[in-house]
Amino acid sequence: MKAPHILIIFLLFFACLIANADENKQYKLQNAFPKLSFDNPVDLQHAGDGTNRIFVVSQKGLIYVFKNTSSVKSAKFFLDIRDKVKYGSELGLLGLAFHPDYKNNGYFYVNYTASDPLRSVIARYTVRPKNRNSANKNSERILLEVNQPYSNHNGGQLAFGTDGYLYIALGDGGSGGDPQNNGQNRSSLLGKILRIDANCTSGNKNYCIPPENPFAGNTQGYKEEIYAYGLRNPWRFSFDPVTGWLWTGDVGQDDWEEIDIIEKGKNYGWRIMEGNHCYNPSSDCNTSGLTLPIWEYGHEDRGNCSITGGYVYRGAKFSELYGKYIYGDYCSGRIWALSYDGTNTATNTLLLKEDIEISSFGIDEDNEIYICDLNGKIYKLAYKE
């Protein structure tokens, strides 16, 4: 009668060993495309069209396209708008998103900075119907232009939500400490996550305001494009396809980096707060009405300085990471996995540290994660042997 119980105990013990082994996996970065190198890669996307291609955005104004295989020998120019893009420091071509129906309509969207006046431009382009590896440069259709008072904190991310709307990240306009208080000013588009309907036009705008937007139809002069506000420089957001949550890494001022889950109409605190800490003394640290981050980390820890938001892992290669938010720090080269269920306090695990400048994360059609190094290479996660 005791043998079955002993067997059950043994099986449970063996399962625990396996689970602990998974949790203690050690990781490294592996050059995903050893024969390729890029000029200042700042974004990596796929088109969602079943072609298994990778698109890499160069800050200088180029988009490269190539087959997603480690043996690929060359990449083609998908789009070259270097003559339109104001490039340097935090300026440049900063974001790319493909229309959910890209396979049929060939539409994709970019976020870049232009000069005279300095501004962020959100524009739509169209692929050439007879050459799916080349976009028609002359097809530009500008949706939105936002003047930038300074050269930094431009945001740059674009992504379509499951609702079919286009989401846009804009920083607070730059300088230091948000001198114009744009983050808290709902009459400005700066320091916000915007949401627009790119499938229609309204008046002289090449987009419409989703009627569910928090300030749609308001009479206070608030910008109707605003989805959420109180952000400093949201450098990379992404949607988790399972939960629908919108994860954002918001770059801090001097001391704290933060991770937010963005919800409609909420105020994420900048410049009243930097992370969970008072930034602007004149506000008396009044946190009423603010949504504080689910996670923060400081600069005092050996070289951290600027968060690069990532993705919730939904691939198949690393089962122990499934459902965890993978993100990094641009300066220190650290990559972490954050666990958060919406109820309990988040827990954070360091996966690795490498001597690279993490400019962005990306995923392929299989939801496997890639890491862009501003110095030119694209990496992927691998186990240490």
Please tell me the predicted confidence (pLDDT) of residue 285: 87
A 10 A CB-CB count for 72 gives: 16
Q: What is the CATH number of domain 34-298?
A: 2.120.10.30
User: Is 327 within 8 Å of 379 (Cβ atoms)?
Assistant: no
What secondary structure does DSSP assign to 141-202, as a single string? EEEEEEE-SSSS-----EEE-TTSPEEEEE---SSSS-TT-GGG-TTSSTTEEEEEBTTS-B
pLDDT attached to residue 5: 52
Collect the ranges in the chain with pLDDT lower than 50.
1-2, 4, 7-23
Residue at 134: amino acid letter: S
* Total-model pTM: 0.94
Element (H, E) at 63: strand 62-67
Question: Which residues make Cβ contacts (< 8 Å) with residue 78, sequence separation at least 6?
Answer: 55, 63, 64, 65, 133, 134, 135
Query: CA quadruple 376, 249, 354, 370: dihedral positive or negative?
Result: negative
Burial readout 189-198 (b: 16 or more C-beta within 10 A, e: otherwise): bbbbbbbbbb
Q: What is the pLDDT of residue 18?
A: 40
- What's the pLDDT tens digit per position in 183-201? 999 999 999 999 999 999 9
Sign of CA dihedral 237, 113, 94, 164: positive
Write the pLDDT tens digit of every residue in 283-296: 788 899 999 999 99
